[in-house]
Structure 1
């Protein structure tokens, strides 16, 4: 299974109200504390939270936890082993964080097998790692993917975030990646009362540079894979040009 959602989600109930929209800032969402971002794969942090991270790195600080190693985005390449691709994706992520104002020390790399995290029986150590990182950097806000994203790693990351936020008393914000791209009704399906929009503003160029650091996911590195994933230009443009959107959730 590749780094992509397999199918479109089911139809949504159009009678469910859309959330109320608020324009806000990274500092307001984080309450002047460092931001903690949980990314299912290397690149989700830049796509969904690049502006927020850049703003926080320039202010109170930030930390990113990457759930998986990203090694399943290109399968069957005779020149790129899964281990080599995973190492490359970590390097790309570290470079992206530098563009956003951080560095390798601002990354916790958990390295679970990409596209297989849902098969790991005990996610307790992953929840514990998120809680430990929050305490270490003194974060009060956790940003993680929406459970409406139709990808197993995004769903697992959302579940981990809910558990960690509940246990550690963190404010939990969900960000959409694949559901934002593919599902016009994800807001109703999510059921959150409020949508917060953060304009990257002066950090937009840094966010764009960070996204472009993930060259393997833009189809610029591996050219001989039997199965290959690449972000489309329209997909990238949506995240570069639009605001970042977050939904505050009740940990449960």
Structure 2
């Protein structure tokens, strides 16, 4: 898929490509909301959200988080990476970015109703999750498993396993291994971030994947989610406007996972 995107980027000007990606993403969202998904009822189950970067949790699950916390339901959020990739080789800039994104995450999650004590940062290097050596991988799985055993969530939310981003796909794999290690049996739901934006959907997903798609109405908390997204001001500057716009709607999409 990376090679496919590189070829497309060489042929199509950047603005045209962004417009094409927006139209593709918008079409997929509309199709899923009208015919391609089932309605998801509100669940009173406790939840743990795993986010590869600071902002994925709000983009993908912000409405669900706000709904649950408004009902007094426990929601824990775990960030796997520190978000430092944008700093290049400048150590001071990296540290500044890490601090900024951590504070933005805390602010966004406070807007969504998550207690600060229920926010955890594992601080792995940004962009590196798929390249963890075996000891690092096992250490990360053990860290996640420990949190799972501590909180015993009834639902776990992770990025889609085919989300077209190395850290996102690695997060799915690491968390799934940790769930098995922790010997717990939560409902596992995948949330798409880059899936509809970066790839032709029907090249990535099988019919069995699409059959597991659910739409969840967040109309009652839509404004709160938009405020939480706005808290990530340092990142919104570098993201395509069309990409951000797809998360400002009144629905979220989740894919239920069978173990």
Please give the range of the TM-score, normalised by the shorter of the 2 chains: 0.7 to 0.9
Higher helix share: 2
Instruction: Name the CA distance, whole Å, in 1 between partners of 2:224 and 2:87.
Output: 27
Select the residue among 182, 197, 203 that pairs with 2:215. Answer: 197
Select the residue among 123, 137, 147 that pairs with 1:123. Answer: 137
Match of 1:164 in 2: 178
| Matches for 1:58-73 after TM superposition, within 5 Å | 58-59=70-71, 60-73=73-86
After TM superposition, give the deviation of residue 9 of structure 1 in Å: 9.8
Aligned length: 225
The answer to whether structure 1 residue 109 and structure 2 residue 125 are counterparts is no
Q: Is the 8 A contact 2:157 2:188 kept in 1?
A: yes
After TM superposition, give the deviation of residue 182 of structure 1 in Å: 2.2
Q: Is the 8 A contact 2:87 2:93 kept in 1?
A: no
After TM superposition, give the deviation of residue 191 of structure 1 in Å: 4.0
| Matches for 1:9-48 after TM superposition, within 5 Å | 21-27=37-43, 32-48=44-60
Change (3 A) 1:69 1:153: same
Instruction: Name the CA distance, whole Å, in 1 between partners of 2:3 and 2:147.
Output: 31
Change (3 A) 1:169 1:125: farther
After TM superposition, give the deviation of residue 7 of structure 1 in Å: 5.9
Deviations for 1:187-237, whole angstroms, at most 9, x for unmatched residues? 624842311111112111111111111111012xxxxxxxxxx11221111
Instruction: Name the CA distance, whole Å, in 2 between partners of 1:250 and 1:9.
Output: 33
Change (3 A) 1:9 1:45: farther
Query: Secondary structure at the residue paired with 2:108?
Result: helix
Query: Secondary structure at the residue paired with 1:123?
Result: helix
The answer to whether structure 1 residue 236 and structure 2 residue 233 are counterparts is no
After TM superposition, give the deviation of residue 103 of structure 1 in Å: 3.0
After TM superposition, give the deviation of residue 74 of structure 1 in Å: 4.4
Q: Is the 8 A contact 1:174 1:247 kept in 2?
A: yes
Unaligned runs of 5+ in 2: 8-31
After TM superposition, give the deviation of residue 249 of structure 1 in Å: 1.2
Match of 1:148 in 2: 162
Instruction: Name the CA distance, whole Å, in 1 between partners of 2:3 and 2:56.
Output: 17
Change (3 A) 1:195 1:88: same
Q: Is the 8 A contact 1:8 1:150 kept in 2?
A: no
After TM superposition, give the deviation of residue 117 of structure 1 in Å: 1.8
> TM-score when scaled to structure 2?
0.78
> TM-score when scaled to structure 1?
0.81
Instruction: Name the CA distance, whole Å, in 2 between partners of 1:234 and 1:190.
Output: 27
Query: Secondary structure at the residue paired with 1:37?
Result: strand
Instruction: Name the CA distance, whole Å, in 2 between partners of 1:20 and 1:246.
Output: 12
Query: Secondary structure at the residue paired with 2:53?
Result: coil
Match of 1:175 in 2: 191
Query: Secondary structure at the residue paired with 1:174?
Result: strand
Q: Is the 8 A contact 2:163 2:194 kept in 1?
A: yes
